[in-house]
Amino acid sequence: MRHLFKSFVTLAALSSLTISSVLMTNGKAFAENEKGTNANYVGVGLAAGVTEGGQTNDAPNLGGNLTGRLKLGNTPLSARGNVLWSDKTSAIIPELSVDVPIANRTNAFLTGGYSFVETDGKATPLGNRDSVVVGAGVESEVGKNFLLYTNAKVGLRAYQNSPASAVSINAGIGYSF
């Protein structure tokens, strides 16, 4: 388990470095003074559950994610929706985020929401039961209508018969509209 966790942390770090390098090389193609992004988007990518609750049906697993963002007017808030799935079931996660511009066409964000597991007891990348979810991530436009995103989510007490929290690391590519 420890080796698997280290692998996923390494993957997350490499994803961050990849996004940073893309920003550095493509920064000249974007407007020089535009800090942050207001892009509304839908994206798809990988979801990696990196924790377990100590019971059956809650082992770490690899799945996918479908993510969307809708900027809420001129506020620093966004409505977000996520679906994290495994080969067993999926978790549907509506969230509200606070977005912080950190670089050219790049935001960091903090999220809060709730995970609704379609079939309680079946493993998703974010546990196997409904739970409160908090998270943090980064999104960055890398070309016209495209952006990369990565985030980590923590499902609080997200395993049946266990007080353990679940952690999922997600990354993907989005299409802005």
- Looking at residue 127, the DSSP 8-state letter turns out to be B
pTM score of the predicted model: 0.79
37-55: average pLDDT: 93
Alpha-carbon distance 163 to 26, whole Å? 44
Location of structure tokens 């996520």: 82
78 pLDDT exceeds 50?
yes
Predicted local confidence at residue 3, as pLDDT: 44
Mean pLDDT of the chain: 85
pLDDT, tens only, 79-100 = 999 999 999 999 999 999 999 9
Quick one: pLDDT band at residue 7, thresholds 50, 70, 90? Answer: very low
55 pLDDT exceeds 70?
yes
Tokens of 134: 């908090």
Predicted local confidence at residue 95, as pLDDT: 98
The CA dihedral of 137, 53, 95, 37, to the nearest 10 degrees, is 10
Architecture of domain 2-176: Beta Barrel (2.40)
Long-range pairs for 109-115: beta carbons < 8 A, 24 or more residues apart:
109/78, 109/136, 109/137, 109/138, 109/139, 109/151, 110/134, 110/135, 110/136, 111/80, 111/135, 111/136, 111/137, 111/151, 111/153, 113/80, 115/91, 115/155, 115/158
| CA 141 to mean position of chain CA atoms | 16
Alpha-carbon distance 139 to 137, whole Å? 7
43-57, 69-83, 155-169: least confident range: 43-57
Instruction: State the number of CA atoms in the 13 A half-sphere of 17 facing the CB.
Output: 6
Domains of the chain, by residue range, sit at 2-176
25 pLDDT exceeds 70?
no
